[in-house]
Structure 1
Amino acid sequence: MNYLQEIEGKLVHDKLTEGGGCGGGGGGGGDTTTRIRRIWVRGPIIVGAGPSGLAAAACLKEKGIPSLILERANCIASLWQLKTYDRLRLHLPKQFCQLPLMPFPSNFPTYPTKQHFLDYLKAYSNRFDLKPIFNMKVESARFDHRSGLWQVKASTTTAAATPGAGLDKKSTNNHDDGRTEMVITTTTEYVSQWLIVATGENAEESVPEIEGIESFGGPIVHTSSYKSGEIFSGKNVLVIGCGNSGMEVCLDLCNYNARPSLVVHVLPQEMLGSSTFGLSMWLLKWLPVWLVDRFLLLMSRLLLGDTSKLGLTRPELGPLQLKSISGKTPVLDVGTLAKIKTGEIKVCKAIKRLSLHAAEFIDGKVETFDAIILATGYKSNVMTWLKETKMFNEKNGMPRKGTPNGWKGELGLYAVGFTQRGLLGASADATRIAQDIYDNCWNPHHHHNHSNTHNSVPFNSNPIIYYSSTNNHPTPPTPPHIN
């Protein structure tokens, strides 16, 4: 029996129980079961099944490297499937939004709709046979220097109907028919030589701190919960946020006869017959950023006019420099500017404070509103679970190294989806990560020695090969060096 067969022969299927198991003593009153199991993963562990995670997994698979994707939601691309509005479409041409190894279908429009993009992602996942583990929330990930492996703890919660007698009502769900749901939390510790953080820069809603926001009497909705403007028909709606989502939500509100207000700076979606983004990328091949910015601002003024007359003041930096320094994406006009010119969308100054049904702005004006929509974007949540601060900034959860060098950390840690350059940047990083792992660790023809347990063995089958059968924290067996 060779080494791998011996390891595979150690697979066990016993579920471990910690914390007293199902029972709460002799009375049978326990209602929460926590099961712990530990699994050694042959290839990289990928946290996040959004476009970035899928791209990383596909690039790895193309090189014969298996991976394990952990996803907290019940589907791939949960941000797109569960937290986007109905009229959403890509603001960039499809060639700048496709993932590695698979272009968009030729019959898709230049600017694919939300449904087009979701269909593409599902087809992408099917093509590369990507099967994330859903409903698995990563609680923590840390590098264990003793074993030389990443330890990723994730949990999933299920509810099982049980007879109602003897169960603690404080932590059970009681039904009218007498049934009680027992909550079962299964915690799994995955261990691997590599960890790929693919939760991206849009993992959690970003909610601003505004004086008086808790006293506002109407609904306050983040765009992650906004579907359409139908429920806001006939209402005064304040849209807080100056990005593409805010612009498009305002346009959608107008289409449902709502009266929106916002603050924003815009660029035309297309210039000289090409997308503004595509033209920018082409110009950057020959010209410095500051000169391309100056050109974009000049063309914007020619095409859109003097937007300052509409209350839209431009930042001092050009759109490309602003994106590079602050991460703020330039706003591309998709028809909202025309509504601003006709007065259907009101432009307001920055908010000073909110009250019961009104907002006071920094210019002293006070306006009444029935509802508020927070188009304030998203943020990274990496620092809530990754116990590592060398690669990621503790304040914003972004890689400390700027693009294009933020994808690789130390000790087998990688990041994808943090370039602040959208899907194009994520695709580039996914390709780099797969190549790096293959060249340095996986290629059977590349004799690469690692210290301690960072060894090189080309596995090609199911990545899950080891279960612990003890309640301790064992060090999984380590493959030998290839000699």
Structure 2
Amino acid sequence: MDPIDEMGSKLAQDPNPQSLTVRRVWVPGPVIVGAGPSGLAVAACLKEKGIPSLILERADCLGSLWKYRTYNRLRLHLPKQFCQLPNLPFPKNFPTYPTKEQFLTYLESYAKHFNLRPVFERAVKRAHYDARHGLWRVLASGPKKEVVEYVCQWLVVATGENAEAYVPHFEGREEFKGKMIHTSEYKSGDEFSGKKVLVVGCGNSGMEICLDLCNHNAYPSLVVRESVHILPQQMLGSSTFGLSMCLLKWFPLKIVDQVLLLITRVMLGDTAQLGIPRPRIGPLEYKSISGKTPVLDVGTLARIKAGDIKVFPGVKRLTHQGTEFVDERMENFDAIILATGFKSNVPCWLKDTFMFSEKDGYPVKPFPNGWKGKDGLYAVGFTKRGLLGASHDAIRIAEDINQDWKSKATQLMQQRSITQLKSFIEVLN
């Protein structure tokens, strides 16, 4: 058995196994799990208040989702002013919709600006609150099979909504002989040139990958299992998102939805005739209820109208050479790309807390109250509102910890000498 798995097995049986050699580290400030945009935002906001923190990241870089698990042509779907992290805007010379590489450059400069130094290749395997001592104990594995337990008073969960690829089960999966990958493995349409490819999922990624496949001379088809709102990326000379935010300052949400749908109907036509029905309620209201973001069209609909992309309903089962759909149609495909999204992995490692749902790994309390739990536990990046939501929560988390820091952490550091702190950690053994 792998030492990490053995460690997890022992911890599942006994949270304090005597046979497990663990190096313990006292962290005077919060431990932040995740060095993506959300984790960096919290650390920067804390730094501005003079509070140190420790960022643990399982990968070997900042923003690993963006670096390793996104396709090459990806750009921010919203204008950069709605995606910037707290206290440092994007460079002025960046385009309105920065590329993947530009966003990664921004994250690097953000970390450098605030002197943030995450500990990379530290995979958190277990975190739980030690009520006896009033501390969080965060167990992580390192690149050389090292096991470290970080002890702290505050824990910030910043692993986000996209920690693990979600791969649904399909009847007949073992029969299909073609290539099947998740979008997290897709880079470009180069390898699919001349091939028939089925893209399962019609969110922003699925739609854009279909467009990318067309541009590389592939023959894509798109599965649209549920209703979805598709809006133009730009309306009336400005971004659709920006226009929406402006209108919401003056009009009720339902009125704004009606305006958006009217303009969309003029610009894009009736998507239901293309096999893409809309939900009965407007895009903003639907987003607030379901958490599902409207798709911002970057040219895919035009290729669907031109017949370059076929649209199918849900998948009934996979066959040896392709797919049978719920409307009984059958089609052969050389490859299948699953644009089925990602999921949270928090329940796998965060134990003994009622803050996160065991079912989906999201905070139990709905937005905007899901950022704070009990005993110094916080969550950032789980709002289903992108980088803008993460930034708002990062600011609130830093303010909340700052209040606690002044009354608790400073007192602790002043009263305990280094020797006392070491003895304090030894008590946990």
Deviant stretches of 4+, over 4 Å: 464-470
> What is the CA–CA distance in structure 2 between the aligned matches of 1:456 and 1:143, rounded to whole Å?
21
Tell whether 2:22 aligns with 1:62. Answer: no
> What is the CA–CA distance in structure 1 between the aligned matches of 2:413 and 2:393, rounded to whole Å?
23
SS at match of 1:457: helix
> What is the CA–CA distance in structure 2 between the aligned matches of 1:474 and 1:381, rounded to whole Å?
31
Tell whether 2:396 aligns with 1:442. Answer: no
Aligned alpha-carbon RMSD (Å): 2.2
TM-score by length of 1: 0.80
**Between the two proteins, what is the percent identity of the paired residues?**
64
Deviation at 1:210, TM superposition (A): 1.7
Tell me, yes or no, if the aligned pair for 2:198 and 2:223 is still in contact at 8 Å.
no
The within-5 A match list for 1:34-49 is: 35-49=21-35
> What is the CA–CA distance in structure 2 between the aligned matches of 1:349 and 1:341, rounded to whole Å?
17
> What is the CA–CA distance in structure 1 between the aligned matches of 2:113 and 2:344, rounded to whole Å?
29
Report the counterpart of residue 238 of structure 1 in structure 2. Answer: 198
Tell whether 2:35 aligns with 1:77. Answer: no
Deviation at 1:465, TM superposition (A): 9.7
The unaligned stretches of length 5 or more in structure 2 are 1-5, 7-18
Structure that is richer in helix per residue: 2
> What is the CA–CA distance in structure 2 between the aligned matches of 1:408 and 1:324, rounded to whole Å?
20
> What is the CA–CA distance in structure 1 between the aligned matches of 2:234 and 2:420, rounded to whole Å?
53
**Alpha-carbon spacing, 1:318–1:214, altered in 2? closer, same or farther (3 Å):** farther
Select 1:457's aligned residue among 411, 421, 424.
Answer: 411
Question: AA paired with 1:271?
Answer: M
TM-score by length of 2: 0.90
The within-5 A match list for 1:76-475 is: 76-158=62-144, 185-264=145-224, 265=228, 266-439=230-403, 441-443=404-406, 448=407, 456-457=410-411, 474-475=427-428
Q: Radius of gyration: which is bigger?
A: 1
Deviation at 1:301, TM superposition (A): 0.7
Question: AA paired with 1:230?
Answer: D
Report the counterpart of residue 16 of structure 2 in structure 1. Answer: none
Greater mean deviation of Cα atoms: 349-358 or 131-140: 349-358
> What is the CA–CA distance in structure 2 between the aligned matches of 1:423 and 1:276, rounded to whole Å?
17
User: Residues 393-436 of structure 1, C-alpha deviation per residue, up to 9 Å, x if partnerless?
Assistant: 11111011111111111110000000100000000000000011
**Alpha-carbon spacing, 1:466–1:138, altered in 2? closer, same or farther (3 Å):** farther
> What is the CA–CA distance in structure 2 between the aligned matches of 1:209 and 1:317, rounded to whole Å?
29
Greater mean deviation of Cα atoms: 283-292 or 104-113: 283-292
Deviation at 1:214, TM superposition (A): 2.5
Question: AA paired with 1:475?
Answer: L
User: Residues 124-152 of structure 1, C-alpha deviation per residue, up to 9 Å, x if partnerless?
Assistant: 01111111111110001000000000000
Tell me, yes or no, if the aligned pair for 2:223 and 2:315 is still in contact at 8 Å.
no
User: Residues 208-251 of structure 1, C-alpha deviation per residue, up to 9 Å, x if partnerless?
Assistant: 12211232111111111100011111111000011100011001
User: Residues 355-401 of structure 1, C-alpha deviation per residue, up to 9 Å, x if partnerless?
Assistant: 11111111111111010001111111000000034111111110111
Tell me, yes or no, if the aligned pair for 1:38 and 1:467 is still in contact at 8 Å.
no
The unaligned stretches of length 5 or more in structure 1 are 1-18, 20-32, 159-184, 449-453, 477-483
> What is the CA–CA distance in structure 1 between the aligned matches of 2:317 and 2:420, rounded to whole Å?
56
Report the counterpart of residue 13 of structure 2 in structure 1. Answer: none
Tell me, yes or no, if the aligned pair for 1:56 and 1:431 is still in contact at 8 Å.
yes
> What is the CA–CA distance in structure 1 between the aligned matches of 2:33 and 2:304, rounded to whole Å?
41
SS at match of 1:135: coil
SS at match of 2:174: helix
Deviation at 1:117, TM superposition (A): 0.4
> What is the CA–CA distance in structure 2 between the aligned matches of 1:211 and 1:328, rounded to whole Å?
26
> What is the CA–CA distance in structure 2 between the aligned matches of 1:415 and 1:105, rounded to whole Å?
28
> What is the CA–CA distance in structure 2 between the aligned matches of 1:75 and 1:226, rounded to whole Å?
20
